[in-house]
């Protein structure tokens, strides 16, 4: 046996392929890959030396040259494909042609990804047959493409049980976000959940939102229709630390409170409490007041200090309201230009609201912006005992009227000092469990919280639902649809049929 009889070429190619496969399967064992590839190179070099004369004679043939040209074209074509795939993998472009843009991230999510200050690793424990696998993969691929600081790893807990045990995983379809020693768990592949976890894990501290209690306000732990449990969960998912405070027990609003929320008090807020709220705002605090009609909570003394007030009665709107509902169920579509309302695309439902007034002389130090107004065909009904059907020019207040306003200081604050801000909304029911999931309500609530917390780059993340949102018509639109679908279209079809029938009879 000599070197010519040993199939060195076949051995070399086999070792080269084995090295490539080994690197893809066990990239951490570089010594094994190096040994295989080095042996392959040695075998191929010996093969060319031993068979040099035969290779030279073979290359001089005409058929070999023609074959070499074809092989060269194939190699060039394969090289072009490899280069295109390499560039596409690093600079991919995607088009989302779905009707609801289900595969596109919200603008707020893109802002958060662009502003990430540190690396975030995401480990998804799921199996390919699990219902959440595809949703996790599609959404997290978009996150990874939008930011190089996102790394994603998928782990099958059945095939890799040790990794699952080390994370304490007891179920599939769960994602673990990790960054700088912080860990957040996600159990649903929705964009709201994923981006909320990204916000929480990438921040060193959470901003605190405190709800005032002790005056019959809806409870944060109440899961019934009148509770605020859903609103609390929405805030927590956005990265806030949510709690309660009683100014009957505390002498001041706790330090480091990002937002103080007074949501629908039913009993009086005493003068000492109002003074503590005023002191909090004067020191640069951020206040959100949700004041319902027909309550005993008299907050006018506090509001007058800023030139604000709440009007009597309840708002009635014959134009912008929920069709087939009470006249006081307002469906607000008219918004003023402001950071809170700039991205709002859906109407906000305010059941039984009151209007907010502003005295420019008393509040001349504040920049007043009415966020939401009723239509011109509206008024504040002062007599709610009977059925509301028409405007009483003597007793009622003609619209349009403001039902949500924002205040901020006119004078620029010193750098580094907190900037006070106030938002007053003449309704708290829109944030309760029964209504907060209405398309525009959660957006408006979270936009308001983000503006008060001075998180302009983390405004509300609007979820991309695969299901179409229902169209909610106002009374005018409802009548137009009725005339069009029930009267006009059938009449047009009947008329067309009669015309065709008459023409055929004349033939």
Query: Do 85 and 21 fall within a single domain?
Result: yes
Structural domain includes residue 102: no
Query: Do 488 and 432 fall within a single domain?
Result: no
39 φ, ψ (degrees, to nearest 5): -65, -40
CATH (domain of 180): 3.40.30.10
301 φ, ψ (degrees, to nearest 5): -60, -40
Asked if 384 contacts 359 with a C-beta cutoff of 8 angstroms, the reply is no
Query: Do 57 and 149 fall within a single domain?
Result: no
Query: Do 221 and 132 fall within a single domain?
Result: no
Low-confidence ranges of the chain (pLDDT < 50): 463, 465-468
Structural domain includes residue 425: yes
Which tokens in the block code for residue 164? 């699952």
Query: Do 433 and 351 fall within a single domain?
Result: yes
Per-residue pLDDT at 67 = 67
CA distance 25 to 17: 12
Per-residue pLDDT at 91 = 54
Strands 356-358 and 286-290: unpaired
Query: Do 404 and 266 fall within a single domain?
Result: yes
Alpha carbon separation from 376 to 66, 132, 397 (Å, rounded): 84, 48, 11
Query: Do 393 and 256 fall within a single domain?
Result: yes
Among residues 320, 353, 316, which one has the least CA distance to residue 335? 320
Structural domain includes residue 467: no
Residue 308: partners with Cβ closer than 8 Å, 6 or more residues away: 356, 357, 358, 359, 363, 405, 407, 422, 424
Structural domain includes residue 487: yes
Cα–Cα–Cα angle for 157, 158, 161, nearest 5°? 60
Structural domain includes residue 354: yes
Bridge partners of 183, per DSSP, are 178
Per-residue pLDDT at 294 = 83
Task: Please say which residue of 154, 186, 218 terminates a domain.
Answer: 186
Residue 185: partners with Cβ closer than 8 Å, 6 or more residues away: 174, 175, 176, 177, 197
Residue 377: which domain range? 206-458
Structural domain includes residue 98: no
Alpha carbon separation from 380 to 309, 334, 369, 422 (Å, rounded): 14, 17, 20, 23
Query: Exposed, middle or buried: residue 310 (CB in 10 Å: 0-12, 13-18, 19+)?
Result: buried
Per-residue pLDDT at 151 = 92
Residue range 142-185, pLDDT digits in tens:
898 888 899 999 999 888 888 888 888 877 888 999 988 888 88
Structural domain includes residue 7: yes
Query: Do 124 and 273 fall within a single domain?
Result: no
Per-residue pLDDT at 391 = 77
Residue 291: partners with Cβ closer than 8 Å, 6 or more residues away: 262, 264, 265, 297, 299, 310, 354, 424, 425, 426, 427, 428
Per-residue pLDDT at 252 = 93
Structural domain includes residue 329: yes
Task: Please say which residue of 157, 186, 215 terminates a domain.
Answer: 186
Query: Do 497 and 395 fall within a single domain?
Result: no
Domain count, the chain: 4
Alpha carbon separation from 490 to 88, 475, 487, 494, 495 (Å, rounded): 53, 22, 6, 6, 9
Which tokens in the block code for residue 197? 């976890």
CA distance 213 to 222: 13
Residue range 466-506, pLDDT digits in tens:
444 555 666 666 667 777 878 888 888 888 888 888 888 77
Query: Do 171 and 229 fall within a single domain?
Result: no
CATH (domain of 248): 3.40.50.880
Other Cβ atoms within 10 Å of 472 Cβ, number: 16
437 φ, ψ (degrees, to nearest 5): -85, 0
Cis status of the peptide bond prior to 194, with omega within 30 of 0: no
Query: Do 331 and 357 fall within a single domain?
Result: yes
Task: Please say which residue of 186, 216, 244 terminates a domain.
Answer: 186
Query: Do 161 and 255 fall within a single domain?
Result: no
Per-residue pLDDT at 211 = 97
């Amino acid at each position: 046996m000599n070197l010519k009889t040993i199939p060195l070429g076949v051995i070399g190619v086999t070792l080269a392929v084995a090295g490539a496969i080994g690197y893809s399967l066990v990239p951490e064992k570089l010594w094994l890959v190096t040994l295989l590839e080095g042996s392959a190179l040695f075998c191929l070099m010996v093969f060319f030396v031993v068979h040099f004369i035969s290779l030279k004679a073979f290359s001089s043939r005409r058929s070999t040259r023609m074959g070499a040209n074809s092989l060269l074209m194939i190699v060039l074509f394969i090289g072009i494909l490899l280069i295109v795939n390499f560039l596409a993998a690093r600079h991919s472009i995607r088009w989302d042609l779905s009707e609801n843009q289900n595969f596109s991230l919200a603008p707020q999510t893109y802002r958060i990804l662009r502003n990430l200050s540190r690396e975030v690793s995401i480990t998804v424990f799921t199996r390919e047959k699990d219902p959440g696998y595809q949703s996790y993969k599609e959404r997290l691929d978009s996150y990874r493409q939008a930011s190089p600081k996102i790394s994603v790893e998928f782990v099958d807990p059945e095939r890799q049980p040790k990794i699952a045990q080390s994370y304490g995983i007891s179920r599939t379809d769960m994602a673990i976000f990790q960054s700088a020693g912080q860990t957040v768990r996600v159990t649903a592949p929705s964009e709201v959940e994923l981006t909320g976890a990204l916000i929480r894990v990438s921040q060193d501290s959470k901003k605190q939102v405190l709800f005032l209690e002790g005056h019959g306000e809806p409870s944060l732990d109440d899961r019934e229709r009148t509770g605020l449990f859903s609103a609390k969960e929405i805030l927590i998912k956005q990265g806030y630390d949510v709690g309660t405070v009683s100014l009957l027990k505390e002498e001041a609003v706790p330090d480091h409170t990002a937002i103080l929320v007074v949501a629908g008090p039913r009993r009086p807020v005493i003068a000492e409490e109002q003074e503590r709220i005023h002191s909090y705002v004067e020191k640069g605090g951020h206040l959100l007041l949700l004041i319902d009609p027909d309550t005993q909570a008299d907050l006018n003394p506090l509001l007058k200090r800023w030139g604000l007030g709440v009007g009597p009665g309840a708002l009635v709107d014959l134009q912008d309201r929920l069709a087939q509902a009470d006249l006081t169920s307002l469906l607000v579509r008219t918004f003023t230009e402001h950071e809170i309302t700039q991205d709002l695309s859906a109407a906000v439902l305010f059941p039984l609201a009151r209007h907010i007034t502003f005295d420019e002389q008393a509040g001349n130090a504040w920049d007043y912006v009415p966020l939401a107004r009723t239509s011109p065909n509206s008024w504040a009904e002062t007599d709610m005992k009977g059925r509301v059907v028409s405007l009483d020019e003597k007793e009622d207040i003609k619209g349009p009227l403001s039902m949500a306003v924002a205040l901020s200081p006119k004078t620029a604050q010193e750098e580094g000092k907190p900037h006070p801000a106030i938002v007053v909304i003449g309704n708290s029911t829109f944030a309760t469990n029964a209504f907060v999931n209405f398309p525009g309500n959660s957006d408006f609530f979270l936009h308001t919280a983000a503006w008060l917390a001075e998180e302009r780059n983390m405004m509300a993340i609007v979820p991309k639902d695969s299901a179409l949102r229902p169209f909610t018509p106002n009374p005018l639109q409802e009548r137009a649809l009725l005339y069009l679908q029930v009267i006009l279209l059938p009449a047009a079809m009947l008329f067309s049929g009669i015309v065709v029938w008459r023409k055929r009879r004349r033939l």
